[in-house]
Structure formats: C-alpha cells, structure tokens
Chains A and B, each alone.
Chain A
C-alpha cells in the first residue's frame, strides 16, 4: 500500500518535472531565438522594438486566454475570427453614426456582441450537445455572413474613425501601450481565476473527466456555457481593439485568425484533448508565436518564409512534447519496478 503511494508520488513528481521541463525548454528556445535575432540585427533588443513586438502580440494573447479555457474543457472554438470581425465592424459603424461616442462604450458594445455569439455557441454545446467543432464552424459561417451584410460589403476606414477610438490601442497609460496593459491585466485576472477560484478548478475537472465531474455534482452544462460566453466576450473585446489598432474594419477582418490562436495555445503546451494547460505556458507560447509573426522581417527573412517556419516550429514543439512525455512515462515505469 505504502509502496503504491510512493510509486504514485514518484510518478506524479516525474510528470510534474516533465511539465516544467517543457516550459523551461520553451523559455530556452525563446532566449536562443532572441539571441539569434540580436546577432543578426542589433536593433532587436531595443525598448522600442520590444514594445512593438508586445503591442503586436497583445490581441493574440487576449484571444489565447479565452481559447485556453475552451481547450481545457476539451472543446474548440473556430468562430472567433468571425466574432472579431462582427464586433469590430459593429463598433466601427456605431462610431461612424455617433462620431463622439465614448470609446469605452465602443468596447462594451463589442463585448456585448461577443457575449451574444458566445452565449449561442455555449447554448448549442452545453444544452443541445452539438460538438464544439460543428457548433463553432456553423456559427463562424453565420457570423461572417452577418458581418458582410451589416457592412454591405463596405469598409470602415481610418478617416471615418474618431481620434479617441484609434487612441484606444495606440495610446499609452503610465507609459505602457494600452493594448499591452489590457493583455497583462487579462492574463493576471485569468491566472487567478483558473488557479485560485473554485469555478476555475472545476473547468479543469470537466475537461479531464466529464463523467467524473458530473458525478461529483459539478454543474458541467453551466460551466461549458460560461466558458464559451467568456471566449465570446474576449473575442468581442479583441475585435474592437483590432479595428482600433489597424484603423480599418472589413468584412474579412481576422479571417482564419482562430488557427493562429489555437497554434499559440498548442505551443504553450495546452492539450487539445482537454484537462491540462497553464497560463505560464500560454504566455510563453504567445510570445514565441508573436516573435515568429513579427520579428522575422527584422533579420531579413522573407515574409514568404514566415508561415513555413511557423508551421515547422509548431510541429517541432508538439513532437518534442510527445517525446518528453513518453520518456517520462518510461522513467516512471522503471522507478516503479525497483
């Protein structure tokens, strides 16, 4: 009996060390990549460039937090690119109609649009048991179509937007770019939520074993709804920020961006089969993807190589993850035999 618990503890320790090894590996990779960038271009490690990099990665980070919740429950959300477009377009059109609207109202409006979309998806997944991939694929089409109809195929361009609206994402507070600030606040908020609140822990529970969660009396349906609604709200927020940052709202805004977000999560070690993933890993994954997205032109890598390099890094990260896991399990088995 005691031997068994000991073996169990060893196994848990090995697994844990495996997980931190993964994150350490990611960190080392980021450092090496930064060093390589710095060697090729001495302007990489300047405040201005780092800030640029973070500003360009902030929206990805905001979305990745929501996607992390969805992936932890074992689901997936393919609709967020469309949600970004609809929320952004709605707030931009309102801005055109009421030029001196308070930008915070614009943000709230975008989040409300996201909340509606997220709620519908949550309802479909939680109440009607539609598979997340199908529900969000369907909603993606519907929402994207609505965006085109709402905008009548037109763009909202920068000259139609008020300075206050574009300042949302270009302005600074306490010397830090607003986007970065918002992303940091969201990361901190959700780190606390997922690690230190009962609801947060329950989200892991429904992801790692839905039946056990049901048996333990966890309100699985309500939590699933909450997760998709949260994803929707974050996507709505990201939509407004996106439009404000690029000063343009189009029907095809953020087309296919959902896959970027999922890639950031996967790089950050969030398992797509649910139940595991950490905010610290997510931060690293987001930064790595942000670097690959934004820093390659700095070292004279043709932008046409960007996708290929991104894909190879994602595949390498995922395969390394598997290799480390297999090795851990072998070690754990060997220790148990002794």
Chain B
C-alpha cells in the first residue's frame, strides 16, 4: 500500500472541455458577426465596430468581479443597486458643490463600501445564502438612492467627464482601453495568483479550503470589495454616457451580468470557469444588440435570443459533461455554499 500516487494534474478531458467551450463562444461570435454583416451593409466597418463598444462596455465592468463571485459559488444581485446608489451620491455631491474629481472618488468609495457591507454580512452570518443577503441590500441600496434623489435627475457634469465614455484615443474609445486593462488585471488575478487559486478552491469545496488554511473570510471580503469597486466604475461610465443620473438607473443590470457570466461557461455550482468566456459573452451580446439595432430589430427579440442562448448553453454544458458530473445540486444549495460545516441549520 506504499505505492500511493497522488496526481495534482487536472483531468485532461476537463481542460479540453473548457477549451472547446470557449471555441464554441468564438464560433457564436463569428456567426453573430456574419449574420449581422449579411443583414446590414453598414455593419462590417471596423470604425463602427470599435466605436460602438462604448454602448455596452459600461455593464461589462461588472462581469469580471461577478465571475469571481460565481466561481466562489455565491451570487450578487445587489450590483445594479450599488451602481445606482454610487451614481446618485456622486451626482448629488457634485451638484452640491463638491469638485468633480472628489465626487468621482466619492462614487468609488461609496460603491466599495456597498460591496464591503455585503461581504461583511456574508462573513458574519454564514447561515444566510448570498441570494437573501444581496436581495435585501439590493432593495436597501436602491431605497437609499430614492431617498436621496426622489424622482429627480441630477447631472450637468463638467465637459471632461463625458470623455470617459465618449472620448477616443486614436479612434479607439477610451472605455475600451480601461476595459482591456481591467480584463487583463482580473484575468491575471484569477489565473496567475494564489488569490485566484484560493477562489477556485473555495468554490470547489469551502470546508476543505478552510481546513487547508485559506482565510476564507478575507477572500470573500476582498471579492465583495472588488465587486463594489467595479460597480463604481460602471456607474462612472454610465453617468458619463448618459450625462445625468436617476435613482432607477441600471435597473435589471444584475440579471444581464449574471446571464453573461453563465453564458461564458462559468458554472453556477462554483469552482470552475475562466475569465475569457464571460468577456467573449460581453462582446457577443453587445454586438448582437448593436447589429440588430442597425436593421431595426427591436430589443425585445434580443431578450428572447439572450434567454435562449443562456438556456441552450447550460443544456449543452450538461449534456457535454454527461455522467462525469456530480449530480446537479439544487440552486439554493449552491448559493448556500458559504455555509460552515458545523452550522448546519
């Protein structure tokens, strides 16, 4: 019995599978572009394609931290409310006389604080599933935004602020540079650092991760804070694009973001996924939207397409993994993965 060998290699088939999944996304992306360019002669124009990214990239900042959250086996539905609250605070503070650079910093501070509150609740009350916690804070954050601004709009931002979303550097939108930077940073964090490995470990098995000496609480807090910070980025770019803000801004973003992450091949049971998939999904849905808009197909059709893609992608995942997969746990169990072993209710 002394010849026990332990392999730390990932099973090869799994690695191949992820490779294939992202190729499938690339394929969908190509198909979307081919269909779009067949539908409209104005579509296949590099200038337009690059230039149009500013119309959908603001939401994309949330996709990367959400990937972390879902790999952890959690979920965060309060992100859109965080965007609304930080946007409202920034606009009101600016209109009250705070200089814009300080207002921008305030926006990021508020959004990070929102994220930290979520993280704190999750860490202190491990029995609670992330759905419940973020459902409550989602209502509260949006509620605070309504209390502050009621049914008014606030804005009149200075001219340089609109550069964030509308400005270009060598015909490439500024927002694309920022997004690329963030994507690289998050990709490195997830795949090349010990922090990223800890996130995967916690998503696979929280109990084992804790007993292996991972400070699970601080990982959750950091991920929550990052989610908040990126919500602040979204809020900045959204305000810059729209020129003003209202308490009901970014309504429903959370579900679109989750849909993109899942479409990107990140498993909602936690523990698996790569940053590239969700980023591809952002561009697939973004260009789908842009292309359909060019040929006057309404956003409603897009709703149906996104919904079908979401369900189909998960169906394909399930069929593809077939018998190798552990039985799919019910959603709530997945979400309650933050539960401590000794606190079984």
Contact = CB atoms under 8 A, between A and B. Distances in A.
Interface of A: 71, 73-76, 78, 124, 128-135, 137-146, 148-149, 153, 207, 210-211, 251, 255-256, 259, 262-263, 266, 271-274, 302, 304-312, 314-315, 318-319, 322, 325-326
B125 A75 contact: no
A148 B146 contact: no
A273 B129 contact: yes
Given A135-B314, A306-B146, A318-B133, 12 more contacts: A76-B131, A128-B318, A132-B331, A207-B330, A211-B327, A274-B332, A305-B143, A305-B146, A305-B147, A309-B143, A310-B139, A322-B127
Contacts of A74: 330-333
Contacts of B132: 266, 272, 318
A2 B327 CA distance: 37
Contact of A132 (B142, B300, B307, B330): B330
Interface in B271-307: 298, 300-304, 306-307
B158 interface: no
Given A140-B255, A322-B128, A210 B301 contact: no
Nearest to B267: A131
A210 B306 CA distance: 31
6 contacts: A141-B303, A255-B252, A263-B139, A271-B345, A315-B140, A319-B125
Interface in B199-253: 251-252
A129 to B, nearest CB: 4
Contact of B307 (A145, A251, A312): A145
Counting chain B residues whose Cβ lies within 8 A of the other chain, the interface size class is: 35 or more
Nearest to B307: A141
Given A74-B332, A274-B333, A137 B135 contact: no
Contacts of B143: 305-312
Interface string B79-118: 0000000000000000000000000000000000000000
Q: Is the interface of B mostly helix, strand, loop or mixed?
A: helix
A130 B79 CA distance: 24
Q: Is the interface of A mostly helix, strand, loop or mixed?
A: helix
A326 B141 CA distance: 28
A273 B336 contact: yes
B137 to A, nearest CB: 7
Contacts of A315: 136-137, 140
A210 B330 contact: yes
A144 B303 contact: yes
Select the residue from B132, B142, B259, B318 with max chain A CB neighbours within 10 A. B132
Contacts of B310: 134, 137-138, 141
A261 to B, nearest CB: 11
B184 interface: no
Contacts of B141: 311
Contacts of B138: 259, 311
B63 interface: no
